[in-house]
Amino acid sequence: MRSAPTILHLDMDAFFASAEQASKPSLRGKAVVVGGLGPRGVVATASYEARVFGVHSAMPMAQARRLAPNAAYLVPRFAFYRTISEQVMGLLGELSPLVEPLSLDEAFVDLEAGGAAWDEASARLAGGKLRADIRAATGLTGSVGLAASKMLAKIASEQAKPDGLVVIEPGTERAMLGPLSVRTLPGVGPATGDHLRRAGIATVEEIVEAGEDELVRLLGKAHGHGLYAMALARDERPVVAERETKSVSVEDTYDVDIHDRIRVALEVQRLADRCVRRLRGAGLSGRTIVLKVRRYDFSTLTRSETLRGPTDDPAVVREAAARLLDSVDTTGGVRLLGVGVSGLADYTQEDLFAQAAGEQVDAGAVEKAADTPETLPEVPVERRWPSGHDVRHTEYGHGWVQGSGLGRVTVRFETPDSEPGRVRTFRVDDPELEPADPLPLVARSVEAGGASGGGVLA
């Protein structure tokens, strides 16, 4: 391990919820929960005000509503979060060429590789400047951990939350880790933690006292050796600038179980097309098509088929997904469907036979639709207004959706730099109300030219 705390871990504070609070003045200081709002939705992020009530990420949304009935519940705006993430990752890239993103709001940085830090003092300066730059560029806060290894830097950033900076000085790691729960260590989830607790091991120091042989006996060779090394603060993993993408996939969870086999097939085709768009957007292709089906009883089935060569052809992926669906019994109902592609490559080796078959399937579907138009009457689609998403009214300007239903949509008109705004209600088909793009959280002066030092408007 290093002799200086020059590995930095950044974790944005309650990222999705904080971004929503920053863009909506009326929600600042209030409990905000972001996630799927349907009966089977889960919490993506909860603000610190919501966490006081016990709400946390990955919790079923129904449970969150029981714990915090007066919180604001919003549908995620991933494109908006991604824009902010790109700003943050750009700032990390200015510190070092070795930046390892873990998600939209989390990354490791090797400060030494970029010459940004070489000892504890310079690492503290770099971490403090980064936090200030992030606040200036995005209006949001992030917590920073500094240590001599990735594992310790991540533990330090968790201790720094919210909006703080913690440094673990080399030589103090064992003393710091000793009294912490075994759940602090990477790879120790609820099941492993309970297993260790039943064996009388609750803290990191008790892992060391139990010894490596006992850990191997309890957890197996690979996990036992790895956990014992972490308990001794040994972590030689380097910061990797580019993490290889292993698969591309999309999935949907349905509020009501799907029983109609034709509807299931149509959903699989739609997911296959979405997956291919994502695949092409990343400049990739793949050989293995994967279908995921979660049935009414929560049992989850996966089926896969490997092609002769990598492809990014939507007809090929649709056809393979349809074949995989044929092997799955969905008569009891389906609550989740997913389509993925793995075995990725950055080139395509077109399977002409599969392409031709896919084109025939497409042609047959078109002919069938033309033969039976009366069975598929065209139904007007009511405009959807997801809670939390941006809108613009020709008279009242920019706002966001507080809620909708029964043919009405309620909008609060405010912007990131305004006072909390007024609420008005409209018909869902009001021609003067349209979806809008999110506004930037931080306004920049013309003189700043968009530099990261722009200030936050009060």
The model's pLDDT over 401-456, given as tens digits with 9 standing for 90+, comes to: 999 888 999 999 999 999 999 999 999 999 999 999 999 998 764 334 444 333 33
How far is the C-alpha of 291 from the C-alpha of 271, rounded, in Å?
10
**Whole-number average pLDDT of the chain:** 86
pLDDT bracket for residue 244 (50, 70, 90): low
β pairing state of 165-167 and 142-147:
parallel
- Model confidence at 73: pLDDT above 60: yes
Task: Check residue 370 and give left, alpha or beta (phi > 0: left; psi -120 to 50: alpha).
Answer: alpha
For the chain, how big is the Rg over CA atoms in Å? 25
Q: Name the residue type at position 23.
A: S
Question: Which string of DSSP letters, residue by residue, matches 249-270?
Answer: EEEEEEEEEE--HHHHHHHHHH
Cβ(445)–Cβ(454) below 8 Å? yes
The model's pLDDT over 119-162, given as tens digits with 9 standing for 90+, comes to: 999 999 999 999 999 999 999 999 999 999 999 999 999 999 99
- Model confidence at 359: pLDDT above 50: no
Helix (H, G, I), strand (E, B) or coil at 393: strand
Question: DSSP character for 130?
Answer: H
What is residue 409's predicted lDDT score, i.e. its pLDDT?
Answer: 94
CA distance between the termini of the chain: 45
What is residue 346's predicted lDDT score, i.e. its pLDDT?
Answer: 60
Task: Check residue 233 and give left, alpha or beta (phi > 0: left; psi -120 to 50: alpha).
Answer: left
Cβ(57)–Cβ(43) below 8 Å? yes
Is residue 49 annotated as a catalytic residue, yes or no?
A: no
pLDDT bracket for residue 243 (50, 70, 90): low
- Model confidence at 378: pLDDT above 70: no
How much of the chain exceeds pLDDT 90, in percent?
Answer: 64
What is residue 247's predicted lDDT score, i.e. its pLDDT?
Answer: 84
Torsions phi, psi for 279 (to 5 deg): -60, -50
Count the neighbouring beta carbons within 10 Å of the beta carbon of residue 78.
12
Question: Which string of DSSP letters, residue by residue, matches 205-222?
Answer: HHHHHH-HHHHHHHH-HH
Cβ(262)–Cβ(183) below 8 Å? no
Task: Pull the structure tokens for residue 78.
Answer: 């991933």
pLDDT bracket for residue 269 (50, 70, 90): very high
Per annotation, catalytic residue among 20, 49, 100, 106? 106
